[in-house]
Amino acid sequence: MKPIEINLSNFICIQIINKIVEFKILPLQYRLSLGLISKWIFKALSNSSILGTMIIHNVGYINDEEMMEISTHIKSPWCMIKRVRELNTMYTFDILEQQHHIDFISNMSLDVEELSLLGPLQYVLPITTVNYPSLKRLKLKVWLELVKFPIDQFPLITHLTIHINSNYYVQYLISLLDHLKDTLEHLNIVGLLDTSPSTETLYNYLSQYKVNQLRTLRINVFEKSYFQAIVKQTQMRSLVSLTCTNNDVDSVLEILEVNHVMQYLYVVVQSIEQFNKLVLLLNERPSLTSLKISGYKQKDYKSPLLMYIQDLEIFSCDVMINELLHCNSLPESHIRSLFVQPRDINQLISFQGFIEVNNINLTSLRISINYSNEMVLDLENISWAISQHPTLVNLYLTFPRFQKNVPQKLIKHLHLSPSLQYIGLNLKVFKGASKFLSISTPFQLVSNEFSFYLFIRNGLNYDQGPTNSWISTIYKAFTSFYNKWSPI
């Protein structure tokens, strides 16, 4: 293939196109259609790995003819996806019993950067540097077959999520972590281990592993207090992400006091004193911009403005929801993304007040409506408040239970929004909901998969569409420009 001509205008154009293509909520068919803008765009996207995600469930059920068709198509000059960057497989015990299935995977494994293997490994392409030279992220379960793979040939990955359900594999895990010591930055160990000498051996090993070098660490094979102890002994200063769902909030506060690089925190607070100290530390940590918080019913929460938090998720903390939203309902709030679960009318009112005031930075909103009959009456007011917000771009609504008229009340005024581009409705509890749902123009339903309904302003216009849709505007501009000036 001829090298792609790069100049400043081409570079800017492909960066914009890439931003659209990597937005996975858009249907794949639409993202692929952007390659039709010009030959140059087609080749540029073909050489990138943005589109290279392949999910193979039970690949053993793909027959020889289908495998040949896929392999031939990938090699075709008319196929835009040339590199498979992400490969997810879920094998079962009765498949992958022939060598040609392994050959099928090996034809695309060289460019794989993210690999997920969540089934038996007997008939899987061995995880070696030769087979996966580009591999950086790996998620797998430890099976007997994995132990047979030579550890010294294991790819030097940076991200590892490993499921271990037997003490028999502890020594293998330790040997693997030793092999990855120079490159591993993110470690997640999942599973169930019995209390035994081998469990103690793993605990002692992890208590000395890569001191202040890991960026994320999650371990749930021990008691949660053990995990906190490991973090405090080895990774207090280096973690950029920390999840603590147990009762050891004081350990989290202790870690925050010495950690100046953390970016994400999930914590469950239990008292007003812990909450107040947490907020004080948050307002001294400019790097910590994402907070997921839960707690128990407490009175007299007094939350100051969260100075640096940009992404806020509030779970199951009835009084705290009201206080956090109220105290951050200020124009100077930096919150760009918000997730809430209003559970009563007071929380709904606090949320409405936040929406009406926070109108500078907020661009993404997710709401899970676990409504009561009293709340239903106020949903139209919420819909109106959202529709009047001047900067909101993405809105995602989840309904844990379905009542025919409830979603319609919440979406009633959304079409009046001057800024909304995407509206997603999650209605898994009611698969026949589509006949009750409609959002007025300019929004159009563009996809309905697994009871997730996606509406986009002006829909997806493959040829020519309204000028006030930013997607169609970019599409038409590039089409016009490259049809005239395409370098190929």
DSSP for 87-103 reads EEEE--TT---SHHHHH
Q: What pLDDT score does 431 carry?
A: 56
Q: In whole angstroms, how far apart are CA 149 and each of 124, 152, 176, 202?
A: 11, 9, 11, 21
Query: CB-based contacts of 327: which residues, under 8 Å, 6+ apart?
Result: 302, 303, 304, 305
Q: What pLDDT score does 61 carry?
A: 55
Angle between helices 39-47 and 8-21 (to 10 degrees): 70
In 289-405, which residue ranges form alpha helices assigned H by DSSP? 318-327, 345-357, 373-376, 379-387
Which residues on neighbouring strands pair with residue 243, listed in sequence order? Answer: 266
Q: What pLDDT score does 262 carry?
A: 96
Q: What pLDDT score does 476 carry?
A: 47
> Helix or strand or coil: residue 396?
strand
> Helix or strand or coil: residue 376?
helix
Q: What pLDDT score does 181 carry?
A: 96
150 closest CA partner among 121, 130, 167, 128? 128
* Alpha-carbon torsion angle 148, 151, 156, 157, nearest 10: 40
pTM given for the model = 0.80
Query: CB-based contacts of 218: which residues, under 8 Å, 6+ apart?
Result: 187, 188, 189, 190, 227, 243
Residue numbers in the chain where pLDDT is lower than 70: 1-6, 48-64, 90-101, 119-123, 144-145, 224, 246-247, 296-302, 316-320, 359, 371-377, 401-405, 428-436, 450, 461-488
Q: What pLDDT score does 275 carry?
A: 85
